[in-house]
A = this chain, B = another copy of it.
Amino acid sequence: MKIYRVNMTNQTVTVEDVPAEWKGLGGRALTSAIVGKEVEPTCHPLGKNNKLVIAPGLLSGTAAPNSGRLSVGAKSPLTGGIKESNAGGTAAQKLARLGIKALIIEGQPEGDKFYSIHVDKNGCRVQEENELVGKGNYEVVARLTEKFGSKIGVLTIGQAGETRMAAANISVKDPDGNLRSAGRGGLGAVMGAKKVKYITIDDAGAPGVAIADQEKFKEAARRLAKGLREHPVTGQGLPTYGTNVLVNIINEAGGLPTQNFRLGRYEHANKISGETMHDIIVSRNGKPTHGCHAGCVIRCSQIYNDKDGNYLTAGFEYETIWGFGAHCCIDDLDIIAQADRICDDIGIDSIETAVTMGVAMEGGVIPFGDGPGMLNLLKEIEKSTYLGRILGNGAAFTGKALGVTRVPVVKGQAMPAYDPRAVKGIGLTYATSPMGADHTAGYSVATNVLKVGGEVNPLGKEGNIELSRNLQIATAALDSAGLCLFVAFCILDNADAFQAIVDMINAQYGLNLTNDDITELGKSVLRTERAFNEAAGFTREHDRLPEFFREECPPHNTTWDFTGEEIDTLYNF
Taking CB atoms and an 8 Å cut-off, the chain A residues in 90-119 that contact chain B are: none
Which of A2-10, A59-67, A159-167, A172-180 forms part of the interface with chain B? Answer: A159-167
- Residues of B contacting A46 in the complex (Cβ-Cβ under 8 angstroms): 403, 405
- Residues of B contacting A539 in the complex (Cβ-Cβ under 8 angstroms): 534, 537-539
Closest-CB distance, A432 to chain B (whole angstroms): 14
Taking CB atoms and an 8 Å cut-off, the chain A residues in 53-90 that contact chain B are: none
A459 on the B face (CB < 8 A): no
Neighbour of A405 across the interface among B44, B402, B538, B544, CB < 8 A: B44
Total contacting residues, chain A, CB less than 8 A: 38
A541 touches B42 (CB 8 A): yes
A230 on the B face (CB < 8 A): no
Neighbour of A542 across the interface among B385, B400, B535, B537, CB < 8 A: B537
Closest-CB distance, A29 to chain B (whole angstroms): 25
Which of A249-257, A298-306, A386-394 forms part of the interface with chain B? Answer: A386-394
Q: What CA separation (Å) do A42 and B550 show in the bound complex?
A: 13
Q: Which of chain B's residues has its CB closest to A539's CB?
A: B537
A402 touches B390 (CB 8 A): no
- Residues of B contacting A189 in the complex (Cβ-Cβ under 8 angstroms): 403
A124 on the B face (CB < 8 A): no
**Contact flags A410-426 to B (C-beta < 8 A → 1, else 0):** 00000000000000000
Q: What CA separation (Å) do A397 and B403 show in the bound complex?
A: 13
Q: Which of chain B's residues has its CB closest to A392's CB?
A: B401
- Residues of B contacting A544 in the complex (Cβ-Cβ under 8 angstroms): 42
Q: What CA separation (Å) do A401 and B389 show in the bound complex?
A: 6
- Residues of B contacting A400 in the complex (Cβ-Cβ under 8 angstroms): 166, 393, 397
- Residues of B contacting A390 in the complex (Cβ-Cβ under 8 angstroms): 386, 389-390, 401
A165 touches B542 (CB 8 A): no
Neighbour of A403 across the interface among B164, B386, B402, B542, CB < 8 A: B164
A401 touches B405 (CB 8 A): no
Taking CB atoms and an 8 Å cut-off, the chain A residues in 516-549 that contact chain B are: 534-539, 541-542, 544, 546-547
Q: What CA separation (Å) do A500 and B547 show in the bound complex?
A: 47
Taking CB atoms and an 8 Å cut-off, the chain A residues in 28-57 that contact chain B are: 40-44, 46-47, 49
- Residues of B contacting A541 in the complex (Cβ-Cβ under 8 angstroms): 41-42, 535-537
Q: What CA separation (Å) do A387 and B397 show in the bound complex?
A: 14
**Contact flags A369-399 to B (C-beta < 8 A → 1, else 0):** 0000000000000000111011001000100
Q: Work out how many copies of this chain go into the complex.
A: 2
- Residues of B contacting A166 in the complex (Cβ-Cβ under 8 angstroms): 400
A42-B547 CB under 8 A given contacts A389-B390, A541-B537, A542-B537: yes
Closest-CB distance, A544 to chain B (whole angstroms): 6
Taking CB atoms and an 8 Å cut-off, the chain A residues in 310-359 that contact chain B are: none
A238 on the B face (CB < 8 A): no
A193 on the B face (CB < 8 A): yes
- Residues of B contacting A535 in the complex (Cβ-Cβ under 8 angstroms): 541
Q: Which of chain B's residues has its CB closest to A391's CB?
A: B386
B401 touches A547 (CB 8 A): no
- Residues of B contacting A534 in the complex (Cβ-Cβ under 8 angstroms): 539
Q: What CA separation (Å) do A537 and B165 show in the bound complex?
A: 25
- Residues of B contacting A40 in the complex (Cβ-Cβ under 8 angstroms): 547
Q: Which of chain B's residues has its CB closest to A389's CB?
A: B401
Q: What CA separation (Å) do A36 and B118 show in the bound complex?
A: 56
Closest-CB distance, A385 to chain B (whole angstroms): 7
Q: What CA separation (Å) do A538 and B539 show in the bound complex?
A: 7
Q: What CA separation (Å) do A535 and B397 show in the bound complex?
A: 22
Q: Which of chain B's residues has its CB closest to A545's CB?
A: B42
Q: What CA separation (Å) do A541 and B43 show in the bound complex?
A: 11
Q: Which of chain B's residues has its CB closest to A540's CB?
A: B537
Neighbour of A165 across the interface among B386, B389, B393, B403, CB < 8 A: B403
Q: What CA separation (Å) do A544 and B397 show in the bound complex?
A: 23
A44 touches B537 (CB 8 A): no
Closest-CB distance, A191 to chain B (whole angstroms): 13
Q: Which of A49, A189, A389, A402 has the most CB of B within 10 A?
A: A389
- Residues of B contacting A542 in the complex (Cβ-Cβ under 8 angstroms): 537
Q: What CA separation (Å) do A538 and B536 show in the bound complex?
A: 11
A44-B403 CB under 8 A given contacts A535-B541, A539-B537: no
Closest-CB distance, A542 to chain B (whole angstroms): 5
Taking A42-B547, A189-B403 as given, write out 5 further A-B residue pairs in contact, using a Cβ cutoff of 8 Å, ordered by the A residue number.
A44-B547, A193-B403, A193-B405, A386-B387, A537-B539
A-B contact pairs, 24 of them (CB 8 A): A42-B541, A42-B547, A43-B547, A44-B405, A44-B546, A46-B403, A46-B405, A47-B405, A49-B547, A165-B403, A193-B403, A193-B405, A385-B386, A386-B390, A386-B401, A389-B390, A389-B401, A389-B402, A397-B397, A534-B539, A535-B541, A537-B541, A537-B542, A539-B539
